[in-house]
Chains A and B, each alone.
Chain A
Amino acid sequence: GEDVEQSLFLSVREGDSSVINCTYTDSSSTYLYWYKQEPGAGLQLLTYIFSNMDMKQDQRLTVLLNKKDKHLSLRIADTQTGDSAIYFCAESRARNNNDMRFGAGTRLTVKP
């Protein structure tokens, strides 16, 4: 089947930049998403990018998409302890989100 893969863990120091990587296999992916899950909470959409875009920036967040390599990354600048969470990459093809596929999530730990 079609897969979305992420590394499971990332640890950074407060103030550093974090880069969370994701690869996907479906070349028909149209929308790519980053969600954040804090302990005891549901997933919260951070940002999403259309497949015809290379980059999207929103305050401390920068999303880079390499469609040729099917590689998506999320960069968090000036990482804070409050950024500690699990980050999920997801992709979908259709305008209907029912085919959204999630990665297993990357647990980001920010050390003071």
Chain B
Amino acid sequence: DSGVTQTPKHLITATGQRVTLRCSPRSGDLSVYWYQQSLDQGLQFLIQYYNGEERAKGNILERFSAQQFPDLHSELNLSSLELGDSALYFCASSVVAGANVLTFGAGSRLTVL
């Protein structure tokens, strides 16, 4: 157990729907990152939050949004889902925004039918 908790582990939904993925960072970590891992795109950085504030955006679609709450947990919202959104979504956390250890959760596998 890495200490980063992601729910749900698996999610199957239909095109056009909206889902929310949740992440609880490791205790003491202030920074949360979201990554998408798909077969054809590898691991892509989506977005980062640090202590509740958005720090950086990567290849995140406009249909996707995220936030980090005061208790530091984060949610990734995916809307108007398309077949191509099927992927593993990973959350990672770190203590500070620096070249230190990123601790990854086990991921949420999203299947869009």
Contacts and interface: CB of A to CB of B under 8 A. Distances in A.
Interface residues of B, number: 25
Most B Cβ at <10 Å: residue of A41, A50, A92, A100: A100
Nearest to A41: B106
A86 to B, nearest CB: 10
Nearest to B90: A42
B90 A96 contact: no
Contact of A98 (B2, B97, B104): B97
Interface size on A, as a range, is 20 to 34
A24 interface: no
B94 A97 contact: yes
* Most chain B Cβ neighbours within 10 Å, of A40, A97, A98, A104: A97
Contacts of B99: 30-31, 48, 50, 92, 95, 97
Given A48-B99, A96-B98, A102 B42 contact: yes
Contacts of B94: 97
B48 interface: yes
Contacts of B100: 97
Interface string B94-113: 10011111111111000000
Given A98-B45, A105-B42, A40 B106 contact: yes
Interface of B: 2, 4, 31, 33, 42-43, 45, 48, 55-56, 58, 90, 92, 94, 97-107
